[in-house]
Structure 1
């Protein structure tokens, strides 16, 4: 039954879902790499951001892009 539902949704819908998923995955990987490479004011912030990115899949990368720059140490 589920397979019939997916076949009837149409290719454009599935391509859209796959495209959005791919963009979100690229954003998540970018944020994770940026956290690992960055220096933070507080040493524990790196661990906190990694945990947020790993366990808060829905809003983790967006929260990092909004709140993360304020916690980084700039040279």
Structure 2
């Protein structure tokens, strides 16, 4: 299925952009954060990549509390 962005209005573009930006933010947040071990970071990266919307929600609910504060 091909997406024709030229036919979308501002509301539709915003509807597509917000989840994508949240996905990018979550992925970058995992990559720059420190966790207790490297395996936890790898698991969160895989969860966010393989389950884009659900992975972001899971990371926001559970993953951010697993980070190590320096």
The TM-score range, normalised by the shorter chain, is 0.7 to 0.9
> Alpha-carbon deviations, 1:16-60, whole Å to 9, x = none?
332121000000000010011000012201100110011012311
Whether contact under 8 Å (2:23, 2:53) holds in the other structure is no
TM-score by length of 2: 0.78
Please, what TM-score do these two structures have when normalized by structure 1?
0.74
Any runs of at least 4 consecutive aligned residues in structure 1 with deviations exceeding 6 A, and if so which? none
* Aligned twin of 2:17: 22
Match of 1:66 among 55, 61, 68: 61
How far the C-alpha of 1:71 sits from its partner, in A, is 1.1
Structure whose CA Rg is larger: 1
Unaligned runs of 5+ in 1: 1-10
Aligned residues: 63
